[in-house]
């Protein structure tokens, strides 16, 4: 019963979630706010028709957790107390057992923490017995090079053995790697390494363009920067950032995309992260506010826009996170999510409007934004001075249940007025023999080495002047 409704991949991801919960308990406090708090933490998965193994160096299963509940079904209140101080995601107390039984009928779980080392063996006899309930925990010598856990599953079920052997094996491998790189992109960005059958899961970037903090600090200086919002409710911390992660696409790129020649929209859209797990990746639908109320629907011209929203919550408050019970999807009907979605839409609009405004003038836009660099938007929450943030209007009773609410709306560069009201700019370009360019350059600037584009521009200016007379 337990294993029927879960997909094999999701079962494996449950095991990976446990590794991350292990890190949350063990990462030194000082590193939590650092750039790469998960550096040096690693999980390795491998599978073949012989069996499945996952090993990690994430600190091990605390022995009291192992004795009291890790090998029982369901999560007692005591377990919640245990994790009260950590941003863990486990809540139902079934993930590990379900994953094991999904795959096979024999398993050995070995774990080593700073204080203990033990193993638990699940045998086919135990599984088929109606009277035997206890899973004995055996203390062992310390044998792992680092504190962590190894779970090995053998006696695979027939359908699992097929999925784990060629030709199916590579299909599963690819889709698992794809899913891990999406679901764990935030954690991988923070330094966590995941290896599947010997190959490292690639990192998907989550950074946004910004002109740098100095630009933003100056009053009224237009700068490229993300829109930010943060708040707290019922123990859930919310942080949202949306902006550009690359240049606004030009006409050609948009055409290619529309014709289906190229797909460059993959990393555009909204990513929702709950306790560091990605539950929605680069969504471009109404689920994240695209095409809702005054926000335009997603379109290739918005391919440079990307947003991230984080929900974080400690201990049993993790059940307040807006996620579905499978932990892999957003609960889009939760009041919490619906409320902050207003700010997702507000932020998205800042950048869709900017795109509209500059559409006719991309040349100039590109020069204006070429100073901008990719940065982790989270750093701006700390560095943007207080006076540049604005308070949020508490109009509804709902909004009064949110604390520490504030937002930052960047002052983005605007095109010169003339261009905005319809004086469209066009690009003039042509080729001439090098000798002739040098000659004109010498004539105009007494410098035959002058940049051809400057020479061309100067010629145009001169003729324009006489034309205007
Ligand atoms: N690899 C691991 N590293 C650290 N802790 C682990 C690991 N695997 C399981 N655990 C812990 O064992 C307990 C049981 O796990 P699980 O069955 O997935 O239930 P839960 O829903 O509480 O995560 C949890 O407290 C979990 O964090
Ligand atoms: Mg779990």
* 94 within ligand 1 shell (Cβ under 6 A): yes
> Is residue 430 helix, strand or coil?
coil
**pLDDT recorded at residue 416:** 72
**pLDDT recorded at residue 345:** 97
Q: Using the mean position of ligand 1's atoms as its centre, give its distance from the Cα of residue 263 in Å.
A: 39
Q: Using the mean position of ligand 2's atoms as its centre, give its distance from the Cα of residue 36 in Å.
A: 23
> Distance between CA 443 and CA 339 in Å, rounded?
65
**pLDDT recorded at residue 298:** 95
Please state the atom number of ligand 1 nearest to the C-alpha of residue 97. 17
With 90 as the cut, is the pLDDT of residue 427 above it? no
**pLDDT recorded at residue 419:** 47
**pLDDT recorded at residue 91:** 61
Q: Stretch 10-15: mean pLDDT, rounded? A: 94
Q: Stretch 64-68: mean pLDDT, rounded? A: 87
Q: Using the mean position of ligand 1's atoms as its centre, give its distance from the Cα of residue 333 in Å.
A: 28
With 80 as the cut, is the pLDDT of residue 143 above it? yes
Question: Which amino acid residue places its CA nearest to atom 27 of ligand 1?
Answer: 18
* Angle, alpha carbons 359-361-365 (nearest 5°): 95
Helical packing angle, 362-369 and 335-358, nearest 10°: 110
Ligand 1 mutation target, pool 2, 16, 21, most atoms within 8 A of CB: 21
Ligand nearest to the CA of 56: 1
The DSSP bridge partners found for residue 87 are: none
With 90 as the cut, is the pLDDT of residue 464 above it? no
Please state the atom number of ligand 1 nearest to the C-alpha of residue 62. 5
Highest mean pLDDT among 69-73, 306-310, 368-372, 380-384: 306-310
Ligand nearest to the CA of 97: 1
Ligand 1 mutation target, pool 65, 96, 144, most atoms within 8 A of CB: 96
Domains and CATH numbers, the chain: 8-200 (3.30.565.10), 210-419 (no CATH), 434-468 (no CATH)
Instruction: Determine which of 197-201, 310-314, 382-386, 445-449 has the lowest per-residue pLDDT on average.
Output: 445-449
434 and 260 in contact (C-beta within 8 Å)?
no
The residue ranking higher by pLDDT, 218 or 169, is 169
Q: Stretch 354-382: mean pLDDT, rounded? A: 88
- The candidate with the shortest Cα–Cα distance to 66, out of 32, 117, 24, is 117
* 56 within ligand 1 shell (Cβ under 6 A): yes
pTM, rounded to two decimals: 0.78
């Amino acid at each position: 019963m337990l294993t029927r409704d879960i997909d094999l991949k999701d079962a494996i991801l449950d095991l990976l979630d446990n590794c991350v919960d292990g890190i949350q308990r063990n990462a030194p406090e000082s590193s939590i706010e650092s750039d790469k708090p998960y550096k040096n933490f690693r999980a390795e998965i491998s599978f073949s028709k012989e069996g499945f193994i996952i090993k990690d160096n994430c600190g091990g299963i605390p022995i009291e957790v192992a004795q009291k509940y890790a090998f029982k079904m369901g999560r007692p209140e005591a377990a919640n107390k245990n994790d009260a101080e950590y941003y863990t995601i486990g809540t139902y107390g079934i993930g590990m057992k379900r994953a094991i039984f999904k795959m096979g009928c024999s398993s050995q779980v070995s774990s080593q923490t700073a204080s203990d080392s033990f193993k638990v063996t699940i045998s086919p006899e135990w599984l088929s017995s109606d009277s035997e309930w206890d899973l004995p925990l055996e203390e062992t010598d310390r044998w792992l090079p680092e504190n962590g856990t190894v779970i090995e599953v053998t006696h695979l079920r027939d359908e699992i053995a097929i999925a784990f052997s060629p030709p199916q094996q590579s299909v599963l491998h690819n889709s698992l790697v794809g899913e891990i790189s999406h679901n764990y992109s935030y954690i991988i960005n923070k330094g966590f390494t995941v290896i599947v059958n010997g190959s490292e899961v690639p990192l998907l970037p989550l950074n946004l363009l910004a002109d740098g903090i100095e630009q933003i600090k100056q009053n009224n200086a237009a700068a490229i920067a993300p829109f930010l919002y943060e708040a707290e409710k019922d123990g859930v911390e919310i942080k949202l950032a949306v902006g550009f992660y690359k240049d606004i696409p030009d006409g050609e790129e948009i055409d290619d995309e529309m014709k289906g020649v190229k797909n460059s929209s993959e990393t555009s859209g909204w990513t929702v992260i709950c306790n560091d797990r990605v539950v929605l990746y680069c969504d471009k639908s109404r689920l994240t506010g695209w095409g809702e109320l005054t926000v335009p629907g997603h379109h290739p011209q918005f391919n440079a826009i990307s947003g991230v929203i984080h929900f974080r919550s400690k201990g049993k408050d993790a059940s307040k996170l807006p996620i579905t019970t499978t932990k892999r999807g957003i609960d889009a009907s939760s009041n919490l999510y619906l409320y902050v979605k207003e700010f997702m839409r507000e932020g998205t609009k800042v950048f869709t409007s900017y795109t509209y405004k500059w559409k006719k003038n991309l040349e100039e836009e590109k020069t204006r934004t070429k100073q901008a660099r990719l940065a982790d938007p989270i750093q701006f929450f700390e560095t943007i001075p207080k006076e540049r943030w604005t308070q949020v209007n508490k109009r509804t009773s709902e909004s009064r249940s949110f604390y520490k609410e504030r937002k930052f709306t960047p002052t983005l560069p605007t095109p010169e007025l003339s261009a905005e009201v319809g004086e469209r700019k066009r690009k003039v370009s042509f080729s001439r023999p090098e000798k002739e360019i040098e000659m004109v350059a010498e004539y105009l600037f007494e410098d035959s080495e002058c940049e051809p584009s400057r020479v061309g521009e100067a010629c145009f200016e001169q003729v324009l002047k006489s034309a205007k007379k």
